[in-house]
Structure 1
Amino acid sequence: MKHDFLLPPPAYQQPRIKIRTILGHCLYRRVIIWTVTILLLLGITLFSGGGLHATTDRVLDFVDFGKKEYWGGMVAFRKQIKASGTLLSQDNARVPAKTESEPPHWLKYRHLDGYFNGLKALVSPSSYTPEHPRREGDESPLPLTGDYTELPTPTPFGFQPDYSSPAYRENHYQVRTCYLDPNDQIPAPSLYAYNGIVQGQPEPVIGSHSLLGIRDDICWDRFGRYGPYGLGYGEEEGGIYEGTDIEKEGNEAVWSQSGRINYNSIDWAEVQARCHEKNKERFSPPDEDQSLSTLSSAFAHQDQDLPLHQSLHGSTQPPHLRALDRTAVVIRTYVGFQWTQHAVLNFRAMINELSLRSAGEYTVHFLLHVHDDDYPIWADAEVAQQVLDDNVPAEFHGLCTLWSEAQMRLLYPPGGEEDFGEAVENPSGQDVHGVYRSAHMPLQHFALTHPEYAHFWNWEMDMRWVGDYYELFDRLGRWAAGQSRRELWERNERYYIPAVHGSWENFTALVHRETESSGRRAVVGPVNFAGRQNVRSEEQGRPFLPASCAAGSDPGLCGVGEEADLITLNPIFDAEDSGWVFASDVTGYETYFDTPPRRVSIITASRLSRRLLAVMHEETWRMRHAMFSEMFPATMALHHGLKAVYAPHPVYLDREWDLDVIDRSLNSGRDHSASGKGSPYDYDNEHNHKGTSWYFNSEFAGLLWRRWLGYAQMDGRGPGGGRGGHGTLRGGKKEEERPGGTGRMCLRSMLVHPVKWEHPAELLLS
């Protein structure tokens, strides 16, 4: 049933009560009247203003692209709910809203200190003891004792294959080195890391480095990570100036080979184009069959179903050499985004590590949302250039693709929003073509116009990676391809907590037992439901399951070696009864049927295959179906039998939680998962993510990142457990240079989100 966004309180007329009656001398009368009045007012407070579905403090940064308008609406929405004191759950049962009088349970846990020890406390993996979680019987390594005076030396690292090795050359085309300059004098620089782990640094509680093939025996300081891109030297030398006024002992080592590179006149579009041109024979040719009617048929077959010498596009290469598929990294930005020097560093790093050092395997793009639908950004080159000049640093101009919501209304479909039909619910009140509800639409169109890419990473401006981007994206892709489809959806809906679940094999066995005991059938291929429609490739008898899943095959090998159509960085959960605020933001399906089955992964950062985007495009354009941005990709994979994988990357906690409480809080839903009733994504449960290093509402992620950059931060400590932004100013130059201290921080590889600001001056400017 569709509820109005806000409903007026019910009409009510209070009985006339004379003032002298209320204030009269009869004590019993006064007690009765005041009691009735209080109960009456309480009832009005609790039961008026109905029709509110839920609220959220979130504004998705990838969809800000209009942040002022959307944020204002959501703030008003939140204020109304706080005023009414109630929420409506998925079954319309009233539940009390969170109040400040109910502090989160995790405030009772002690803050962890091991993150903030520095380089001088570096030890070998065999001597390392984490502060948390610790093995039974291990003593806490903190506080550290000893005299820390030795500063270790960083080592250059590369995470791409050894392109010159005989083993690589035997099966691949020659790789030609990419340079920053047109004269091939300045090669893409190396990153520097430290061998070892800082003593006492906590282990990730969720996910695992080693499971994904990411190194966990090295750590990164800010200069080894960003020094090659301009951190630590001034603009007169081609740097960014940031990092010259913070602790920097020994940072010269990171420029020992490359020198301080001058980035003042760089054009990254030209750099990437030159790199690809040199190496274009390495890659599969573009898929030229890109008409609207056939897009969903692209990539219907997988690599393992073809001879080694035949690409996905059907062209033939020399039989002894393998052509690679290319991947686009599409970063969502918008008019009005405030670029900073640290943001520039981050995207220089991404281009260098993903594109140049891989010799063109990845290409970085920016998808720039123009809010004003009246801007003639396609008809007037000067207007488009002015948008770029006003909103993007010049070095990135050539990487930008401009788009607007007016363009999406022309594409999906010509008739406008009314052609989509009524939404089951629309909690945000936004347009179905708007970026808040349908951020995937411009990505679908981008894929349509870029047939050269097989996969598309959807990325956001406020995400950071401590480590080498190539190691992250390459290892995620390899691990996902190796996953069996057997009980994959069931593994996807659970958090993997190694200290609780043990090895991945133990976790897989646990999921199998829980699936069997639940009485639910495991999902393997496409799901059937009332009103389901086939896309054209299915109509043509070409389903998306690979040959390894054919009848009679080993179920455990189903999908092994198959590239994932969707890789997410949070669990993929069942939206039904989950309490997630946008669970019923479903548009265009016949309302006399039950709402289709839906899957969601919070945070849109993910890798999508061309064929998944093709299915999404056809469902949007041909069938006029739409769902909320974080729900549509995973749901389309579920409906049509595409391979979706949650990759359990390392996620850290800021406090010393009891391990069983972590499991109960995050796998709190149906059948010990993140799905259904009790889900950690229920509005009342999402606070459990505030102390993690990766979630949209995290209070810890930004604090940890800024401390790592070398800036003092309020440590979040204090009475009642403390919260983000409270406590004592800690870290920064003075503390890192303290005699007897351990120096600047050195973290193992981790994703950090959200990072809303980096240099303290940004707060003053905002």
Structure 2
Amino acid sequence: MLLRYRSSLFSAIGALFILWTLLRNHGKIVSHVVEQYKGTVATETVKGSGLEQVPTIQIIDPLVVEVPRPQEDFFQAPPKVPIGPPALIKPTIVSSRVTIHLSIQNLEATITGTSSSGFSTSTATSIIQDEFVKENAILGQEPSAGQIYGNTLNGVVGAGSHTESHLSVLNEIDVWKSYSRSKPLEYNPYPDYNSEVWKSKNKGDYVPCDGAGGPIKNILAFSGHSKVFEEPQMGSFSLFDIDSNLCFERETRLGLYGYAESFVESISTGSLAGTTQNKRDVPTRIQWDDINWGSLQTQCVEKNTNRYLASEISHPFNEEIMIPAQNASLAWNNSKAKESNSKKRVLGTIVSRKQNEEDPKDYFVQAHLAKAAKAAIDSKQPFKPRTAIMLRSYSGKKWNDNDQQNVRSLITELALKSGGEYEVFLLVHIRNSTIAIENDADYIEALQKNVPKEFHDIAVLWNEAYVQGFYPLIPKKVTNVHQSQWLPVQIFALDYPQFDFYWNWEMDTRYTGNHYDLLERLINFGMDQPRKYLWERNE
């Protein structure tokens, strides 16, 4: 046994010695081989039918670069040959085969091509993207642009099959859509506000709020579903008691929020169902840049303030950051006042931080919690809790129409239609940590560059340097957005302590149905869960 191990050890040592020798003398070995074959041309010949010799394979010497010797420095170097395309040597036909020789005439051409390959790939990708944008814009000008193709709505199954609770939120309306044989249904999943049942469980009175275009309408849905959507691939409709027998069309779902400005014309009851219109019914177009979503949400909360638990201690900076409530959804005539008011509001978080020494936030939080505990005793008519929705955005994001329509729908359905139960914010990550967002001018500049104008007043900016200032003991290498995504949320909660719950919401999240209906069902699901391991499951 020992002898066998020794022989293996000796073999390994011998192999290592041979490898070391080869590595040490590899230069000499390569030079020797090169000298043997440099400048040679080997040709293999075969005899053809006429007994003549025909060359079949020609090996061209690839070693065209020679290291200059010292004495060659005394001679003037020959002029460089201009870089040209690779020369293609004529093919040599041998029997039934074709051999093509590619000769690179200039070594610099090879080096340049290799070093620029990455740049060329990037440029090609950019060109393709630009071409797509141009083609898409051209197609958008066609008369058929935006038309609905296919017969999905005409082939739905299960139409009219709804549970009693689901049927209670659907209302028939006297409107036909040109792309469907059945009438759409008005979808209203909100509570019956101000009813006796509602008042027995809630404090205060519900006051309806206006949206971007005035009174808020409900979205429309169609009864039934596509046969291929019988069951979801992940998740469960029944677990959250969501009506799985509804079909939402893009125009009836997002038409209120700017999708093609509702180009599909509605047809009166007296017209034939499914009649195609030859012209587009374009309603009064909303100038979205003139909409102030922050002010609309503020007005809504003020109208319904008796429903919520508000701190008895007034914030000293409220007068500094609020925008006048009147005509919030209309264009402002005074551009200077508009800029000033916008700046005051978007700097609300900065103003509140500057007040820390005079009026610590902890004092407000403690007062809020104390009043909440006192109000919790009144279980018959509790105050309605408020929830902040933080949409995670970032600098450099290219906002498309669907992004803006989605944010408008979130604000309208969650905050305005509910009377202020929710409030929507944009939590914008400024990737450049050298920007001092504590500085008013830098904050405003970053805001205008990275957030659409209509959302300026709901945006809260942050960067990693700002977070590190709040958490100096945490290593900088882990305070990035990927490893410490929750840190800016905690800072947000300190700046806005008036909320009871905070939702961390991704910008690319999409929900086909009504957002209020979804979140309320998620809340009910959470309340039905056992207390044991609840915190762990929430992680």
Distance 1:279 1:401 in 2: 24
Residue 383 of structure 1 deviates from its aligned partner by 2.7
Q: Tell me the amino acid that sits aligned with residue 347 of structure 1.
A: V
Distance 2:276 2:208 in 1: 27
- Indicate which of 473, 483, 497 corresponds to 1:437: 483
Q: CA RMSD in A?
A: 4.1
Larger radius of gyration: 2
Residue 319 of structure 1 deviates from its aligned partner by 6.8
Q: Tell me the amino acid that sits aligned with residue 118 of structure 1.
A: T
Residue 373 (str. 1) matches residue 433 (str. 2) = yes
Partner SS, residue 286 of structure 2: coil
Task: Show CA shifts across 1:426-457 (max 9, x none).
Answer: xxxxx211112111111110011111111111
Alignment of 1:225-264 (within 5 A): 225-233=253-261, 262-264=286-288
In structure 2, the residue matched to 1:210 is: 238
Residue 120 of structure 1 deviates from its aligned partner by 0.8
In structure 2, the residue matched to 1:468 is: 514
Q: Is the 8 A contact 2:390 2:427 kept in 1?
A: yes
Q: Is the 8 A contact 1:286 1:453 kept in 2?
A: no
In structure 2, the residue matched to 1:714 is: none
User: What TM-score comes out, normalization by structure 1 length?
Assistant: 0.39
Q: Tell me the amino acid that sits aligned with residue 178 of structure 1.
A: C
Structure 2's unaligned 5+ residue stretches are: 1-18, 37-117, 119-149, 163-178, 266-273, 314-355
Alignment of 1:261-660 (within 5 A): 262-264=286-288, 265-286=290-311, 312-315=372-375, 320-380=380-440, 382-413=441-472, 417=475, 431-486=477-532, 524=533, 637-638=535-536, 644-645=537-538
Partner SS, residue 192 of structure 1: strand
Distance 2:442 2:526 in 1: 42
In structure 2, the residue matched to 1:764 is: none
Q: Tell me the amino acid that sits aligned with residue 279 of structure 1.
A: N
Partner SS, residue 259 of structure 2: coil
Structure 1's unaligned 5+ residue stretches are: 1-11, 25-74, 76-115, 129-148, 234-238, 301-309, 419-430, 487-523, 525-563, 565-636, 639-643, 647-766
Residue 231 of structure 1 deviates from its aligned partner by 1.1
State the identity as a percent. Answer: 28
Distance 1:161 1:127 in 2: 22
Large movers: runs of 4+ above 4 Å: 12-21, 125-128, 249-252, 258-261, 286-300, 315-320
Distance 2:520 2:312 in 1: 22
More helix by share: 2
- Indicate which of 193, 198, 204 corresponds to 1:168: 198
Q: Is the 8 A contact 1:117 1:201 kept in 2?
A: no
Count of residue pairs the alignment pairs up: 333
Specify whether residues 485 and 416 from structure 1 end up closer, same or farther in structure 2 by C-alpha distance, changes over 3 A only: closer
Alignment of 1:723-734 (within 5 A): none
Specify whether residues 311 and 188 from structure 1 end up closer, same or farther in structure 2 by C-alpha distance, changes over 3 A only: farther
User: What TM-score comes out, normalization by structure 2 length?
Assistant: 0.54
Specify whether residues 287 and 164 from structure 1 end up closer, same or farther in structure 2 by C-alpha distance, changes over 3 A only: closer
Residue 347 of structure 1 deviates from its aligned partner by 0.4
Q: Is the 8 A contact 1:223 1:251 kept in 2?
A: no
Specify whether residues 198 and 280 from structure 1 end up closer, same or farther in structure 2 by C-alpha distance, changes over 3 A only: same
In structure 1, the residue matched to 2:252 is: 224
Partner SS, residue 401 of structure 1: strand
Q: Is the 8 A contact 1:332 1:458 kept in 2?
A: yes
Q: Tell me the amino acid that sits aligned with residue 432 of structure 2.
A: D
Q: Tell me the amino acid that sits aligned with residue 224 of structure 2.
A: G
Specify whether residues 320 and 476 from structure 1 end up closer, same or farther in structure 2 by C-alpha distance, changes over 3 A only: closer
Distance 1:293 1:269 in 2: 25
Q: Tell me the amino acid that sits aligned with residue 233 of structure 2.
A: V
Determine which structure has greater relative contact order: mean sequence separation of CA pairs < 8 Å that are 6+ residues apart, divided by chain length: 1
In structure 2, the residue matched to 1:725 is: none
Task: Show CA shifts across 1:258-290 (max 9, x none).
Answer: 965624321100110000100111112359899
